[in-house]
Amino acid sequence: MPDQLIYAIEVFFNGLMAGVLYALVALGFVLIYKASGIFNYAQGVMALFAAMTLVGVMEGQVPFAHLINAVLGTKVHHFGWHLPALVGIVSTVLVMVVLAWLVQRVIFKHLVGQEPIILFMATIGLAYFMEGLGDMMWGSEIKKLDVGLPQGINLWIDEATYNIFDYGFFIDNLDIVATIIAITLVGSLVIFAQYTKEGRAMRAVADDHQAALSVGVSLNFIWIMVWSVAGFVALVAGIMWGTKSGVQFSLSLIALKALPVLMLGGFTSIPGAIVGGLIIGVGEKLFEFLVGPLIGGATENWFAYVLALLLLVFRPQGLFGEKIIERV
């Protein structure tokens, strides 16, 4: 087999893994969008915030330490404990639930019935607010996140492929774990939506707010629940990306990567988010590998957008989205 083709296959698999991570972020978007019609731009910042909180709790940082020090002139920074990952994750989930409740209570309760684009802009405001809040609470330096996930090259695959192609594929253990976790997460979300009472209520709300209200579903509860679930998905995404490249500002930019995924797959479709994520992940890696060197590289920044843009011109609802019907 020619070398180029083998490299391309390796790039393909790495793209697939990256795509899973994009899909994970996109999933959070789809959940909120389906249930409340809100396009949550803040999803990426939520992932960053969740990861920061996790690190902060595990390392025993004092929240708002900088602020307290600046105002009171003290020198507090750490409580001096180190918590196991599980405790950190549980308390971060609690924080995300409280956040979901606050977001619903303080912001979106007052914006019910507004145009979607207004809601979208409100989430941009929320993203800014949370970005500032996260930095203020936990400090803006790059943090290392280690919850005990395996990292580094997978030797087994390296060896197996070396025996076949004479060239060992580099595939990160973390990516494999991420894929498994993402599949589990998606599976459990689907089961949750199909077979539990709350899941059914959630689908009812997604279908028709008023009809759901009239059969006694509490919109408020469902929305808080959905935001909490999205917060949890954000936490998982935050852990994956945070372990991979450190908890830092650029983590919030994965939201920007997830947007074309959504456009490609359709805003309302969970399978669409996953397929879209895989297409974008593979597409951008292959494009960078094949065409990138010819036109100056770093095409990953825009390839996904241009691909999605071109697709939208032909299929405005995305690959799996519901057909848009407009009435006057």
Partner 1 sequence: MFYREAGDFSTTYREDSQTFPIKFDRYRYYAVLIIAFAIIPFLLNDYWVNAIFLPFLIYSIAAIGLNILTGYCGQVSLGTGGFMAVGAYATYKLMTAFPEVSMVVHILLAGGVTAFVGVLFGLPSLRIKGFYLAVATLAAQFFLVWLFNRVPWFYNYSASGQINSPERTLFGIPITGANTEPWAVYLFCLVFVTISAVVARNLTRGAMGRKWMAIRDMDIAAEIIGVNPLTAKLSAFAISSFFVGVSGALFFSVYLGAVEVGEVFGINKSFLVLFMIIIGGLGSIFGSFAGAAFLVLLPVLLKNVLVTGLGWPTDLAAHLEFMIVGFLIIVFLIVEPHGIAQLWRVAKEKLRLWPFPH
Q: Which of 9, 121, 204, 319 lies at the binding interface for partner 1 (CB under 8 A)?
A: 121
Q: What are phi and psi of 327, to 5 degrees?
A: -125, 150
What is the contact mask toward partner 1 in residues 73 to 112, using x (rule: CB under 8 A)? ----------------------------------x--xx-
Q: How many contiguous H segments (helices) and E segments (strands) does the chain have? A: 14, 0
Query: What is the smallest separation between the CB atom of 100 and partner 1, expressed in angstroms?
Result: 16
C-alpha 165 chain-centroid distance = 35
Q: Does 259 participate in binding partner 1 (rule CB under 8 A)?
A: yes
Could you give the CA distance from residue 87 to residue 62 in angstroms, rounded to a whole number? 16
Task: Give SS3 for 247.
Answer: strand
Neighbours of 157 (CB within 10 A): 17
Q: Check binding of 157 to partner 1 (CB under 8 A).
A: no
Tokens encoding 259: 């947007």
301 interacts with partner 1 by CB under 8 A:
yes
What is the spatial distance between Cα 17 and Cα 11, in angstroms, rounded to a whole number?
10
Q: State which residue, 190 or 298, has the beta carbon closest to partner 1.
A: 298
**Contact between 142 and partner 1 (CB under 8 A)?**
no
Instruction: State the helix-helix crossing angle for 219-245 and 173-195, rounded to 10 degrees.
Output: 170
Contact call for residue 130 and partner 1 (CB under 8 A): yes
How many Å apart are CA 52 and CA 38, to the nearest integer? 25
Question: Which region among 12-20, 123-131, 185-193, 218-226 touches partner 1 (by CB under 8 A)?
Answer: 123-131
| Positions 212 through 231 that interact with partner 1 (CB under 8 A) | none
Tokens standing for residue 146: 């280690």
Site size toward partner 1 (CB under 8 A) is 49
Span 55-74, contacts to partner 1 by CB under 8 A: 66-67, 70
Minimum Å gap between C-beta 39 and partner 1 is 5
Q: Is 294 in the site for partner 1 (CB under 8 A)?
A: no
